[in-house]
Structure 1
Amino acid sequence: MFPIRDDNPHFLTPLVTVLLIGANGLAWFGLQGLGSEPLLSRSVCTLG
């Protein structure tokens, strides 16, 4: 779950959080074969 807002003041952009979310997205797309049909179908059927 991602927090929407906080009462504490913040001064920096959450760069590490954004980079981690981006890395997870890239890893997911890479492992899914960038959406190519045979790899995506096989992984969904195998892993659920």
Structure 2
Amino acid sequence: MKKVVGLLKKLKKKDVKGKNYNEIQNLSKEVLDLNTLLNNNILF
């Protein structure tokens, strides 16, 4: 999970002016939400 979040942060830095910025931001939020669920063992 940490690798995924790190990659998303790099993408956000590279594509700040791009059209995909909102999509990347939303995906990042989803990943963090999923990480929270995994940490709380809600999915298992």
TM-score after normalising by structure 1? 0.46
Larger relative contact order, structure 1 or 2 (CA cutoff 8 Å, min sep 6):
2
Structure number with the higher helix fraction is 2
TM-score after normalising by structure 2? 0.49
**Structure with larger Rg:** 1
